[in-house]
Structures are given as structure tokens and as C-alpha cells.
């Protein structure tokens, strides 16, 4: 083998992830709320960025009117010539009424479970020692409403007698919500039955010894073990299922999101569906006019200052361009989804069609990865309700009768309808559900039925069965 040195000219193509490209990709996959926070942080780091105000005093805008008209064009031409940025055209400002601050925009903070219990403690106890014990116990109740510390440990820490601690705990367990302060699920259920005056030896026995069988629907086993009729067991089980296993469910938790803000809204106007990108929370950005004047008269500025402003200008324009590109891409993707899911928008989930990223990418003339990023972490408000955009990308099952594919979500909806209309004393098995769907032309396996049934939260046939 002969080794030698040589030189040759070769031309190749490769993608370089520049900071600007990484920023554009990151902005594309952000939700509206995340983008608003990102813009706020960018404004703190870049002095050239400021919020575009719709209403200005006439005396403030008139002296700078001439510079405002031609600055964007001149600066973008300059950057394009330098090869630093692609040609950028700023879109015209949308005239919207400026939102004014109003007391209706502010709401009181929702009290936490602990706040709710502290308030009741002050109303029920007056002895300082008992209040101190109660505050310690409430401080050890978790967000679910359960006491997570043993009474022996409370006695060791507080130095109080067990009788005093148990007395205060009984007071706390009488508070709202029912069942709060329990140490386990059995005690939680029994406390609620006690408050409703429905605690009997029979139901207490079922709760203490047969909760697992109750969860699995083994009513016949419970009846055989307790010597009761299955009808009586069913009655007691129905009462137990009406109780709340998580007393603190309805109270706020620190850092918990209480609502979802849709990124896109689809509305029907004059018989046509209109797409609105909900980016009202994202500030409208513009370049600070004072820096515009400084860069336009750069000969009178320090060279270091001019270089700093040029770098920040480039960064600001890239961010504005990325936000605009995100809006346009999101509109294109959602428009393609709307065009393919018109029946869903008109009639509901039952008419949802199978869809994948490749189909949308081909229609929108985008790459699949771009479609994936554009739909990530975003929600859409439609006439049928609020959905995650990823909801529309679902697999399908062949419908032999119709000669087309049926979406998985559509099949789940049909399953819900079939199960809701079944005889509760003779519920359908997974095999029977499978045969009924196959009779309608839907080619589906029994194990797929079981999978879909679990995904929509429907229990098995044995758990749904009622006894006469």
C-alpha cells in the first residue's frame, strides 16, 4: 500500500446551526405564554428592543416621522449587503385598542388547603396550647388532605400528651373538606361516613378489609366472605364510591396551572373557518428610535458604541423576524389541519380523520420536523372545544365498508357511546365490542379494544356489571 500527500478541491454542502437559526427553532416550538416570557427576558438584555405602542402623543411622533418611514428599509439593506441577515420586511402594525389596566383584571389569590384549615382552627379552638398543636398538625397535612406524620412523632416533638394530640386531631378531622386530616384511605372514608351518619358495621367491614376487591369489582367475593347478598354489597359499594378519596382535590397547589390559554383560535365566520393566532400576550416589538438616530448618524459616535449597537440591532431584528416566521408557519400548519378536519369541526370527535405529520408537511410544503416543532406544546380552540394540536395527529383503523381509514379517537368515541347504551346487568365484553365494530366494517382486534377502553377510563366488564 502506497501512502502519499496531495491537495484537491472539493465542494460540499452542510448545515451550520448558527445562533440565529437555533433561536428561530426555539421560538417556533414555544407556546404563546413561553414566548411572552422569552420576549420579556430579551428586552431586558437588549436595550434596542421596546414595546410597540399603538397610541402616541402627536408631539412625540411628529419630529421622528421622517426617520421612522425609511429606517427599517435602509438598515435591512445595509445588513443584507454585509451578508449578516436576510432581507427583512416588517409587517404593518395591527391597530388594536390599547388595553387599559382595570381592577377587573386582578383576582384574589385562591386559598390553599392549609389556609382554609388554619382559618377553621381559629374559629373552633381558643386555648393557645391546642392551637399550637393544631397548627403543627395542619402544617403536616399534604396537598391531598392526608396527615403525613405519626402521632408518636408529634408527641416526641411537641412534648404534649397523646390524649391532647388526639383530641385536637379529631377537631381537625371535623373540618371542611370532609375526610381531611385522615392518616390513610380507610380512615378518610370512615370520617366522611361518620359525618353523613351512614357509618354501619357492614360498610366499615368492607372498607377495612375489602377495598382491593372493591376496586377490582369482585363483589361476589366480598359477598361470599361477608355472608351478605350481592345486592346489599352492591348498595354499600355504591355509597363508598360516592365518597371523596382525595379531600384536598379542589384546593390550589403552589405553582399549579389553573387554565390553558389557546395559541390558535378557529372560528366560523359567514360559513368559513377563520384562523386567529392568539399572540396578544406577546409584546409587539420595535427598535428604539433613539438608537435608530444614533446608528444613522454613526460618524458622531464612538466606534465601540457603533459596533455594540450594530450587534444588538442584528439580534433584535432576528428576534422580530423569528416571531413573525413563527406566526406564519403556525397559520399554514393549522390551515392544513382545518382543511382536512372540516367534518370534525362541524359534527364532532366521531368524524375525526386519521392524520400524520407527513401529510401536513407535504400540503404546507414544510419539513416534518418544522411541523412537529410548530405544533409542540400548543393548544387550539375550536367550535368543538379546546384541544392540544397534537390531538389531530392520530393513527387510524381500516374501515372495510367505507373503504377508508377511521381515526383512533373516533373509535374511542364510538366505544363510549356503545358502553353508555349497554344493559348494566349484562355489560358488553371486549370481544362483543370488537364483533359489533367489525360488523360495522371496522377492522379491529380485541386487544385494541381493551387498549382503547383503558385509555378512555372505562372499567372492565366485571367492574361495570350490576346485580339485580
- The CATH number linked to 198 is 1.10.10.1330
Arithmetic mean of pLDDT, 347-354: 87
Pair 263, 382 in one domain: yes
HSE, side-chain direction, 13 A CA sphere, residue 85: 24
**CATH code (residue 456):** 1.10.10.60
Radius of gyration of the chain (CA): 32
Pair 177, 221 in one domain: yes
pLDDT tens for residues 122-155? 999 999 999 999 999 999 999 999 999 999 999 9
Which residues on neighbouring strands pair with residue 252, listed in sequence order? 112
Q: What is the DSSP letter of 272?
A: E
- Give the dihedral of Cα atoms 67, 69, 74, 80; nearest 10 deg: 140
268 domain-assigned:
yes
Pair 204, 215 in one domain: yes
HSE, side-chain direction, 13 A CA sphere, residue 329: 24
- Which H or E element spans position 386? strand 385-388
Domain that holds residue 194: 113-241
323 domain-assigned:
yes
pLDDT tens for residues 177-201? 999 999 999 999 999 999 999 999 9
> In this structure, how many other beta carbons lie within 10 angstroms of the beta carbon of residue 94?
8
96 domain-assigned:
no
Residue-wise DSSP of 29-66: T--HHHHHHHHHHHHHH-TTEEE--S---HHHHGGGHH
**Among 288, 297, 293, CA closest to 316:** 288
Pair 337, 457 in one domain: no
pLDDT tens for residues 365-407? 888 988 998 888 899 999 999 999 988 888 777 665 556 778 8
Whole-model pTM: value is 0.65
Predicted local confidence at residue 174, as pLDDT: 94
d(CA 26, CA 127): 58
Q: What is the DSSP letter of 80?
A: H
Pair 361, 414 in one domain: no
415 domain-assigned:
yes
d(CA 1, CA 366): 48
Residue 83 has pLDDT above 50, yes or no: no
d(CA 182, CA 169): 9
Pair 373, 321 in one domain: yes
How many domains would you assign to the chain? Answer: 3
414 domain-assigned:
yes
Domain boundary among 374, 394, 414: 394
335 domain-assigned:
yes
Pair 153, 218 in one domain: yes
d(CA 246, CA 183): 12
439 domain-assigned:
yes
Pair 399, 388 in one domain: no
Pair 201, 327 in one domain: no
252 domain-assigned:
no
Note the helical H segments in 173-302.
185-195, 201-209, 211-215, 219-226, 230-241, 289-296
Pair 336, 274 in one domain: yes
Amino acid at each position: 500500500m502506497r501512502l502519499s500527500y496531495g491537495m484537491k478541491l472539493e465542494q460540499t454542502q452542510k448545515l451550520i446551526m448558527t445562533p440565529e437559526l437555533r433561536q428561530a427553532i426555539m421560538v417556533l416550538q414555544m407556546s404563546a405564554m413561553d414566548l411572552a416570557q422569552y420576549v420579556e427576558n430579551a428586552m431586558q438584555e437588549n436595550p434596542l428592543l421596546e414595546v410597540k405602542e399603538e397610541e402616541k402623543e402627536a408631539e412625540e411622533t411628529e419630529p421622528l416621522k421622517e426617520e421612522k418611514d425609511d429606517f427599517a428599509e435602509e438598515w435591512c439593506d445595509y445588513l443584507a449587503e454585509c451578508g449578516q441577515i436576510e432581507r427583512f420586511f416588517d409587517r404593518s402594525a395591527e391597530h388594536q385598542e390599547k388595553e387599559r389596566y382595570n381592577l377587573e383584571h386582578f383576582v384574589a389569590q385562591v386559598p390553599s388547603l392549609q389556609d382554609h384549615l388554619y382559618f377553621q382552627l381559629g374559629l373552633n379552638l381558643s386555648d393557645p396550647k391546642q392551637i399550637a398543636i393544631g397548627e403543627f398538625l395542619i402544617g403536616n397535612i399534604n396537598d391531598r388532605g392526608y396527615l403525613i406524620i405519626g402521632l408518636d412523632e408529634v408527641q416526641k416533638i411537641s412534648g404534649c400528651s397523646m390524649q391532647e394530640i388526639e383530641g385536637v386531631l379529631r377537631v381537625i378531622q371535623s373540618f371542611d373538606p370532609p375526610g381531611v386530616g385522615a392518616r390513610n384511605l380507610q380512615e378518610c372514608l370512615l370520617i366522611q361516613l361518620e359525618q353523613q351518619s351512614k357509618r354501619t358495621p357492614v360498610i366499615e367491614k368492607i372498607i377495612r378489609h375489602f377495598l382491593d376487591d372493591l376496586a377490582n369489582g369482585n363483589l361476589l367475593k366480598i359477598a361470599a366472605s361477608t355472608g351478605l347478598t350481592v345486592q346489599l354489597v352492591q348498595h354499600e359499594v355504591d355509597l363508598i364510591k360516592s365518597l371523596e378519596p382525595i379531600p384536598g382535590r379542589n384546593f390550589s397547589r403552589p405553582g399549579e396551572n389553573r387554565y390553558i390559554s389557546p395559541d390558535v383560535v378557529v372560528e366560523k365566520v359567514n360559513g368559513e373557518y377563520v384562523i386567529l393566532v392568539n399572540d396578544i400576550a406577546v409584546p409587539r416589538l420595535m427598535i428604539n428610535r433613539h438608537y435608530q438616530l444614533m446608528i444613522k448618524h454613526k460618524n458622531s459616535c464612538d466606534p465601540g458604541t457603533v459596533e455594540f449597537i450594530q450587534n444588538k440591532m442584528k439580534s433584535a431584528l432576528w428576534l422580530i423576524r423569528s416571531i413573525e416566521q413563527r406566526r406564519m408557519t403556525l397559520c399554514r400548519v393549522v390551515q392544513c389541519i382545518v382543511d382536512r378536519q372540516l367534518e370534525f369541526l362541524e359534527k364532532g370527535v366521531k368524524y375525526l380523520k386519521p392524520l400524520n405529520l407527513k401529510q401536513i408537511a407535504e400540503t404546507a410544503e414544510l419539513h416534518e420536523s418544522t411541523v412537529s416543532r410548530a405544533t409542540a406544546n400548543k393548544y387550539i380552540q375550536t367550535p368543538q372545544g379546546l384541544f392540544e394540536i397534537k390531538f389531530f395527529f392520530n393513527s387510524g383503523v381500516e374501515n372495510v365498508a367505507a373503504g377508508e381509514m377511521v381515526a383512533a379517537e373516533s373509535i374511542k368515541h364510538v366505544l363510549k357511546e356503545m358502553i353508555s347504551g349497554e344493559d348494566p346487568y349484562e355489560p358488553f365484553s371486549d370481544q362483543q365490542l370488537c364483533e359489533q365494530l367489525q360488523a360495522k366494517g371496522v377492522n379491529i382486534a380485541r386487544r385494541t379494544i381493551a387498549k382503547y377502553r383503558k385509555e378512555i377510563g372505562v372499567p372492565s366488564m366485571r367492574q361495570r356489571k350490576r346485580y339485580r
